[in-house]
Structure 1
């Protein structure tokens, strides 16, 4: 005879003499306890003073801060979903003390009360972890990643397009005035012309159009010219004002989104259309140690090269001292960055362009005609070509980078290349060969190469790969944070801090 199954009984309707506590349902090693313990130890008086006295009671900012950090740790970024979790998730209920702020309160706290203040909270937590010897903040690994902004992907403004539009308006103003001169020339007269035709100031453009209209007022004018002047009067001053406003918002950038002016169009690795489409985003710069984020900054530039100095300066401002060692990839290897690190007397392991290519080609026969292979005589300040001919110094010039840094290039020219049997292999330009050399950069690259190839340099280069790049992989794929929720660089900075804090505390929970 088949045995009857025995069912476990439930106690859904049974009353308890001593109801259970929320604490009974939260394991001792759960990440929510880490968040609660850490936030209880930090000073948030600078947030408390922003609340006005009187009126109805307010939710304590410490409780709201715990909720926000734990929500990001649990991949909840929407204020409505956080509100829902506060009524359904036992861990949120325990952490919040069963308070239930609505989504507006949560959103206002994140984008309002925390704006411009979260970095101070983040630094306090880092120093606390350093005191507990969980991590050290003296050796850092720097890298950057691009994260999409909360902005329309298809409403963009391009700096080059605005410059072309200004040039077109300026050109058409000149053409209209030439037409005026033609009309007056037929009558043997000469009109008084405008002071300038620069399409920079909307009032000046309107004044120029009025002068053209006034000059043609009593003259027989082509109907198409009249239509063009009417169109210009209605649109051009307004367009110039719009371009000026957009240019001011863009600053030194080449692009921006109309719905998120702080965001710059960048090429992302996540390409949903598979066509290399540019998206509005921010360049997140972070440094780490043992996969803990030790500092973060947001850049609006598409490349990492110009971000290193600002990132390290903010690090010094946060902790009162510079890091002992800095390790970064080839995206940061510029003369300006090397000069800064040398001036700061920092131990730096920063690659430069073609570093890996040089290592791969080290076993191959080098090109004897490449400028780097030519012999340089320091005393005479000259180079010697493969035929032994002296290449004398013919002067130098300065070149300014996009960041405003001045580089010095020196030019060297051979005295007579005609009839040289190696000329075909050496160079193809007419005349005698000229090479340009940046001696400062050559020296700095040689110094960087020596450090990178040292045992310590090899160790740091290997660690950088799994240290900082693993963090970006965790944030984008495990935490599924690929697009910011907020708009405006100040609010986005707060959100960056929240995701960085969530990553660190989750890492701490795993280690516990």
Structure 2
């Protein structure tokens, strides 16, 4: 039996129909909407320091509290430029309600942001973010972090390397120890001083310290003051000069090691800069590793912008992210420089998931790497016997474990050692 076709009924739609009364913006915005939260939080903020920046006189100004509300809410919904914020004030009912229908142009917004609000806007937005996270208005599920190398404005020929400072410092200490022996020999008769014993070069090395050097200088001063033999006096004067030179070198190299800290070195004209490989992989120049991070939710205005001088310092950055409360993310997404054993362990302890490749990931995907059977990563492993087999059919047996300490970070990892009996 055929169905009887009935007429289609649409709801009334008259776009050109005028309203008797304009809509009330308060009724169009939900009770729990984010714009209301921003409004309430900024109302409770003490912005007297910001208001005091106004000189007074002249034409009236837009209220700083209103401009602050507009800026903070714009950041919350990923609107950052002055022109787009000005556009939203004319088209978005949430911005209209927040500004009480005030419509500052983009110049006014940018001037406020870059002058009066410049010193406080970042701190206030961070405060707002923490409030929203604490009250579960937002969830910081994913945190993205990355870094890049930026050339420093420093003389590339004025690099100080920590390894060199350590090596030269040891040589200066050895020189001091040798001078100590010569001073003792000069000041005392060998038979009376040592009897049947050997000289210090066959015994434990003399400890070199400021006090020890000062004591030897005093000894030389006594020799210079009391001796009447000119040759002996000249020798004492020469030893004193050499000892002071060695003391200055030890101090110099210790200062260089202290300035380098956990870095491989620093630049003399900009001690915050470190020698780094540039992106072209052809130059090593004084530079910075600049880190940045942001959340993937609608609040992304808060970013971590910090300059470091060494790739190893990325561990500190990740540690800060993993422990920040209440803004700890559910997942961290980063490139392979973060993919260290130390960071994987840190994230596991804090129950944070991650998408981070380990440093050799891309190399392991190459054909040359995978087809090289003599690489230890390509040896055949037997989980039952805990042994490896190399391409020469030799068996590598587990011999034990030992602790390995990372030189820059101080992280201790456990390493398993396998050896071939043949």
TM-score band, normalised by shorter chain:
0.5 to 0.7
Give the distance between the partners of 2:373 and 2:411, measured in 1 at CA: 32
Give the distance between the partners of 1:189 and 1:212, measured in 2 at CA: 18
Listed as ranges, the gaps of 5+ residues in structure 2 are: 1-37, 56-62, 73-79, 83-104
Give the distance between the partners of 1:256 and 1:44, measured in 2 at CA: 46
Give the distance between the partners of 1:100 and 1:388, measured in 2 at CA: 73
1:370 aligned to 372, 375, 378, which one?
A: 375
Q: Which residue of 1 aligns with 2:141?
A: 138
Listed as ranges, the gaps of 5+ residues in structure 1 are: 1-37, 52-56, 75-89, 416-431, 433-512
TM-score, scaled to structure 2: 0.59
2:179 aligned to 171, 176, 180, which one?
A: 176
1:59 aligned to 49, 53, 59, which one?
A: 53
Q: Which residue of 2 aligns with 1:411?
A: 417
Q: Could you tell me how far 1:412 is from its partner in structure 2?
A: 1.9
1:281 aligned to 281, 288, 292, which one?
A: 288
Does the aligned pair in 1 maintain the 2:183–2:216 contact within 8 Å? no
1:226 aligns with 2:231: no
1:313 aligns with 2:323: no
Q: Which residue of 1 aligns with 2:353?
A: 347
Does the aligned pair in 1 maintain the 2:263–2:310 contact within 8 Å? no
Does the aligned pair in 2 maintain the 1:296–1:311 contact within 8 Å? no
1:322 aligns with 2:328: yes
Does the aligned pair in 2 maintain the 1:137–1:323 contact within 8 Å? yes
Question: The residue matched to 1:190 in structure 2 has which SS?
Answer: helix
Matched residue count: 334
Show CA shifts across 1:85-125 (max 9, x none): xxxxx96567657x999xxxx9xx85xxx6xxx76434246
CA pair 249-122 structure 1, distance change in 2 beyond 3 A: farther
CA pair 316-169 structure 1, distance change in 2 beyond 3 A: closer
Q: Could you tell me how far 1:300 is from its partner in structure 2?
A: 2.9
CA pair 95-395 structure 1, distance change in 2 beyond 3 A: closer
Give the distance between the partners of 1:141 and 1:186, measured in 2 at CA: 72
Show CA shifts across 1:140-172 (max 9, x none): 222112345676766554433432443233222
Question: The residue matched to 2:318 in structure 1 has which SS?
Answer: helix
CA RMSD after TM alignment? 5.1
Q: Which residue of 1 aligns with 2:266?
A: 256
Does the aligned pair in 2 maintain the 1:173–1:197 contact within 8 Å? no
2:278 aligned to 228, 253, 269, which one?
A: 269
Does the aligned pair in 1 maintain the 2:172–2:250 contact within 8 Å? no
Structure 1 residues 29-40: aligned runs within 5 Å:
none
Show CA shifts across 1:47-66 (max 9, x none): 868x9xxxxx9526997x98
Does the aligned pair in 1 maintain the 2:274–2:309 contact within 8 Å? no
**Structure with greater Cα Rg:** 2
Structure 1 residues 44-123: aligned runs within 5 Å:
58-59=52-53, 120-123=123-126
TM-score, scaled to structure 1: 0.50
